[in-house]
Structure 1
Amino acid sequence: MSEETRNTVDGQVSAGAIVQAASIGAVHHHVHAAPAESAAPVVRLPVEAPFFEDRETERESVERALGRWRERSGVVRPLVVAVSGMGGVGKSALGLRLAHEAHRERGCHALYVDLDDHRKDGAVDPSDVLAVLLGDLGVHEPWRAKDPAGRRGQYAERTAGRRLVVVLDNAAYGSEVEPLLPVSTDSVAIVISRRRLADLPGALEVPLGPLPGEAAEGLLRSLLDDTPLASGQDTVAEIARMCGGLPAALHVAGRYLRTHRRRPAERLIAALRTELDEEGLPVVEAVWDAAYRELSAPAARLYRLLASHPGPSFTDASAAALLGAEDPDAAYDALTELEGASLVTVWDRDAEPDPDGATGAAQERLRMHDLLRAHAQRRARQDGEPEEAAARARVVRWYRRQAERADELVAGSRMRFALPVPPLPYAPDVPFRSKTEAAHWMTAERAALHSCVHLAHQAGGPEGDTDAWSLCEPLWTHFMDHRHYADAIDAFRAGLASAQRAEHLAAQARLRCQLARALWETGDLAAARNEVDQAVRSAAALEGEPRLRASTLEFRGLLRREEGDWAGAVEQFAASRRIHEEIGNAYGVLLQTYLLGKTLLDQGEPRRAAELLARAHDMAGLQGRTRMLGRTAYELARALRRTDEGGSGRVHALYERALESARERGADRDEAEALHALADLAEQTGDREAAHTRRAQARAIEARAGAVGAEG
């Protein structure tokens, strides 16, 4: 199946429960009227920490700053609150509390992004982050600009004059924050960072240190929840001191004390003192070591292996894939034990409704605090974890199988070269009940899937390289619905390198085309041309792969269109169509005929275009291709209007057919285009009332979808 045919199912991931200190994981524009606020504000914030102590001074300073900011005028910039401090000190807990308080006061949209989820080689591509923020603001994928400048302008328009709360977690530099700030004086941006961001001018700096003694003791007592200790409450002060006032350590210690409430706490204190005095370990290391030593062997092994998990969060099933036990219940029991010890925490419980309105089973996601992940890595080095490479291979293979299953649901039958991964005995499959659930899973696991491509490529060998390039097949479908360019280019390049090592020419040709698409959409036409030309040569050298040869020619034609080389595009589409005719691929013939007609129309040959588009329209009807029926109707109507043939009645009927098709598919961009075309036609025939109605309907869709320049 061609790349032009795909299902678009958009999914969003909302965050869930965390604990205090958990790791939550110059634009030129024309400002139009801000879109009307929706009746139900979008809230993407994780829930607040269940236990919170102190920080009153910091919260009061932010409240005073908000008051002063409301009185300012003439500066189009949000109030930026920069919360900074060492890992485990409670930055995210405070930042989220501030965000929830601001949201409750203002009743506005509240958005959250963990920049570490978008970090590659130490840098964040703001274009990919803007895609997430634009999606949360209601801008559907077909309406999002493809280039970085376009997305910045779209974000500026979408946020201008609005009340928003935006949380940017794990920021490393002020320069990666600036493009993500709402263009609004009425908004608040809360930036959370491990260090002070000196290059973020005008921010209200809120540096955090460890909790003072009384506050640390108060948090620990809250965590104990009135649990009676055999040694009495005097032990709390000593444990709090040993935790150094770090909430992350206090949570682990609190759960340890609750679990062993009948055990004399002096034993824990003595063990900590011994390690501190004799080993010279950091304070919190001793607390985590004590919790780690209490784990059963399977739980301790899973703890060590979770440090290698490819994604920022994980599920029961992906943890089972890491552990690789014959009985998956062993993984569930081990994970329950880790959660009970506060070494992992619930991050999200998310249920995506299916198309019939029923709610699927909640998919619980968990995370490991960055400090605990580092501790697990140290324990793996100290205790020895010989199965780390095997565990990574297992979890990569599990992710590949789930992605292939999701892709089959979302994209249906299309050209694939990887042999599907069979069921895996050590981990269960994700239960996909619909295209929506499958697409939602791909969105939720995007970071893990891209990481798996690199893990497989780094592992190398026949299995690693096959996994790397095979994972790029389902990631292609996801990319076509979610344009995260930096991630896609990075993954396709790694997959291509693995396909080259594996000497799989078909996969190389396919990946070069996919990489080229991402490159030309980001403006790198020269690099895209190089990849496409090599893909065409590779496919031509293969025997028995005519569909691949036709596909590479189609990609070359699409690139020629992007370059404005209409004659070159026509030549490539015609060559691709001949191959499809030879092998009897009816849909391929339909698609290339459509592309030929559309390109000839753009080239200024409406009569030749109308002839081809009429044939494509008939083929779409015979094949039952609803999407292509609508698109061929729209383009044929355009061609007929330019030839003055067919009469306004036929043109009107074709535009109505295109409109009906768009509405059936929920394709709001195609719907808006058809409405504008009908409005133009009504104006041409003197029906001003119909023109006004159609134009208003189209503009309402554009305003709702976030089109650049749309007025609310």
Structure 2
Amino acid sequence: MRETFGVLLRSFRHRVKLTIEELSHTSGVSVRAIGDMERGTSLGPQRRTVQALADALRLTLEEAAELAEAARAGRPRSPAPARGLCEPPRGVGDFAGRTAELDLLARLAASARSAGTAVVATISGAGGMGKTALAVHAAERLAAGFPEGRFHVDLRGMDPVPLDPSSALARLLKALGVPERRIPADEQERAGQYRALLRERRCLIVLDNAAHEAQVRPLLPSGGPGMTLITSRRSLAGLEGVRQIPLAQLSGAEATGLLEAIVGGGRAQADRNGLAEVARLCGHLPLAVRIAGNRLQSRPGWSPGQLAGRLQDEERRLEALSAGDQAVAATFSLSYRQLSLRAQRTFRRLALAAAPDFGVPLTAVVAELDLFEAEDALEELVELGLLQSPYVGRYRFHDLVRLYARARLSEQEPIEEQRVARRRMEAWLLEGVQQ
């Protein structure tokens, strides 16, 4: 019969001739806690406590493993995960690119397993950057390191009413095997129960499409050997103690590689230049590249060069970048609808700017705002991925986002208002040149 944790601990302590007080001083574990363990009141202490005691007692690797196993045996059994709840979505077999990000996530997962400390990473970026695809692909690759389950929750951050944290916690607790009758009604109690379960489990949780920090903060672990990945169009910079992984568009080689993975090597080799041109006209945006690849795949008679010819027309490019229920313009619209009215107007008016990038003063002129209001509007656009800020004080559009802004300007503002705004901008630019 296997010895209990308390019996083993006492025998190891007597062997090295330490009193409970001396062991407490050496290990940092309280006298009362050690006494409770040896009396059998505390049957299954946590991993860190066991490791501290093993180090203080100078146990061999085999003895430390025996002590850890006794501790595990003394802990109450966690409920078994429920099948079919919070199942991850299907990954794509032709995933390509994002090598650096996947390597980083693999290193973070390894640190979670080796150190036994929870790791949280945010994957952020504009609509169409492939955040969910990356998180799902990474979860598949890392599955072996998290044998107690992979779970996925869509937080519906772009919906008019995102999923509330309490409902998300209920779903996760059910997926982790907690019967519905044992799930507390109070959100804070649910969060506590969830964190307690994750302290003992090697799970990988994907919180997809987060709206803001307040939505995900109750869903974060406080410890344990698991990993949590959060995707969001916002940077979620207000979250403490997380690793931020911002996504940009693919490199030219990655975008071309994704197209080749979709259409096949034969068609790619037959028209390498056309394939590279399609990737360029898609702005190396993963969603646009995938839609273009799917269109080529569904039309075996088209060459990449022929599709590139169709995409040359800027007025029709966004319309061409749609396939079935996927459309680049629809993805941008989700972010546009999240903006304040001031930021929406700023976004539309900035389509008038001919320069590749612009600053706060030009924005203030074209959008009829003061400098502080203009800066706030620009930062709101950056936060939702509708503008890029390559360095402080300068902003620019992604090529496809500029086309979307131009379409919104044409549809939502009378032509005379557009002309007035353009004349005001041109007068301001001319005044600057003359000074």
> So what's the TM-score if we normalise by structure 1?
0.34
- Residue 259 (structure 2) pairs with residue 216 (structure 1): no
State the distance in 1 between where 2:198 and 2:239 align. 20
CA contact (8 A) 1:172 1:195 kept: yes
- Residue 189 (structure 2) pairs with residue 146 (structure 1): no
1:172–1:62 Cα change, 3 Å: same
State the distance in 2 between where 1:155 and 1:230 align. 51
Worse overlay, 82-91 or 169-178: 169-178
Deviation at 1:88, TM superposition (A): 0.9
For 1:35, the equivalent position in structure 2 comes to: 77
State the distance in 2 between where 1:163 and 1:201 align. 22
Deviation at 1:238, TM superposition (A): 0.4
Q: Provide the secondary structure at the position in 2 that maps to 1:262.
A: coil
- Residue 91 (structure 2) pairs with residue 51 (structure 1): no
CA contact (8 A) 1:164 1:182 kept: no
CA contact (8 A) 2:96 2:261 kept: no
Deviation at 1:146, TM superposition (A): 1.6
- Residue 309 (structure 2) pairs with residue 270 (structure 1): yes
CA contact (8 A) 2:275 2:305 kept: no
State the distance in 1 between where 2:204 and 2:329 align. 27
Cα-to-partner distance string for 1:303-347 (whole Å, 9 max, x where unaligned): xxxxxxxxxxxxxxxxxxxxxxxxxxxxxxxxxxxxxx4x33xxx
Equivalent in 120, 126, 130 of residue 80 of structure 1:
120
State the distance in 1 between where 2:158 and 2:333 align. 23
Deviation at 1:375, TM superposition (A): 6.6
State the distance in 2 between where 1:229 and 1:94 align. 24
Deviation at 1:151, TM superposition (A): 1.8
Structure 2 matches for 1:643-658, cutoff 5 A?
Answer: none
Q: Provide the secondary structure at the position in 1 that maps to 2:230.
A: strand
For 2:224, the equivalent position in structure 1 comes to: 185
Equivalent in 275, 289, 292 of residue 319 of structure 2:
289
Equivalent in 202, 206, 209 of residue 170 of structure 1:
209
Give 1:108's aligned amino acid.
Answer: E
- CA RMSD for the aligned pairs? 3.4
1:129–1:237 Cα change, 3 Å: same
Q: Provide the secondary structure at the position in 2 that maps to 1:218.
A: helix
State the distance in 1 between where 2:293 and 2:122 align. 29
Deviation at 1:50, TM superposition (A): 1.6
Deviation at 1:242, TM superposition (A): 0.8
State the distance in 2 between where 1:265 and 1:189 align. 39
CA contact (8 A) 1:41 1:108 kept: no
Gaps of 5+ in 2: 1-45, 47-73, 337-435
For 1:545, the equivalent position in structure 2 comes to: none
Give 2:143's aligned amino acid.
Answer: H
Equivalent in 147, 150, 161 of residue 110 of structure 1:
150
CA contact (8 A) 2:151 2:205 kept: yes
- Residue 235 (structure 2) pairs with residue 196 (structure 1): yes
State the distance in 2 between where 1:183 and 1:91 align. 24
CA contact (8 A) 2:157 2:209 kept: no
Give 2:77's aligned amino acid.
Answer: P
For 2:245, the equivalent position in structure 1 comes to: 206
CA contact (8 A) 1:118 1:129 kept: no
Deviation at 1:39, TM superposition (A): 8.8
- Residue 200 (structure 2) pairs with residue 161 (structure 1): yes
Cα-to-partner distance string for 1:484-519 (whole Å, 9 max, x where unaligned): xxxxxxxxxxxxxxxxxxxxxxxxxxxxxxxxxxxx
State the distance in 2 between where 1:127 and 1:54 align. 36
1:273–1:148 Cα change, 3 Å: same
State the distance in 2 between where 1:148 and 1:78 align. 21
State the distance in 2 between where 1:118 and 1:33 align. 41
- Residue 275 (structure 2) pairs with residue 233 (structure 1): no
For 2:137, the equivalent position in structure 1 comes to: 97
Cα-to-partner distance string for 1:126-172 (whole Å, 9 max, x where unaligned): 11111111111122222221222332233233333221111001113
Deviation at 1:82, TM superposition (A): 1.0
Equivalent in 280, 285, 288 of residue 249 of structure 1:
288
State the distance in 2 between where 1:192 and 1:80 align. 11
State the distance in 1 between where 2:283 and 2:241 align. 32
State the distance in 2 between where 1:248 and 1:236 align. 16
Gaps of 5+ in 1: 1-30, 280-284, 293-340, 345-367, 379-712
Deviation at 1:45, TM superposition (A): 1.1
CA contact (8 A) 2:109 2:142 kept: no
> So what's the TM-score if we normalise by structure 2?
0.53
Cα-to-partner distance string for 1:266-317 (whole Å, 9 max, x where unaligned): 4432332232xxx4xxxxx71x41256xxxxxxxxxxxxxxxxxxxxxxxxx
For 1:385, the equivalent position in structure 2 comes to: none
State the distance in 2 between where 1:177 and 1:39 align. 22
CA contact (8 A) 1:90 1:247 kept: yes
1:41–1:79 Cα change, 3 Å: farther
Structure 2 matches for 1:580-619, cutoff 5 A?
Answer: none
CA contact (8 A) 2:195 2:221 kept: yes
Deviation at 1:85, TM superposition (A): 1.1
Deviation at 1:369, TM superposition (A): 6.5
For 2:414, the equivalent position in structure 1 comes to: none
State the distance in 1 between where 2:106 and 2:90 align. 21
Deviation at 1:47, TM superposition (A): 2.3
Deviation at 1:248, TM superposition (A): 1.1
For 2:165, the equivalent position in structure 1 comes to: 126
1:223–1:34 Cα change, 3 Å: farther
CA contact (8 A) 1:89 1:210 kept: yes
Q: Give the total of aligned pairs.
A: 264
CA contact (8 A) 2:151 2:204 kept: yes
Q: Provide the secondary structure at the position in 2 that maps to 1:228.
A: helix
CA contact (8 A) 1:231 1:266 kept: no
Give 2:245's aligned amino acid.
Answer: V
Q: Provide the secondary structure at the position in 2 that maps to 1:116.
A: coil
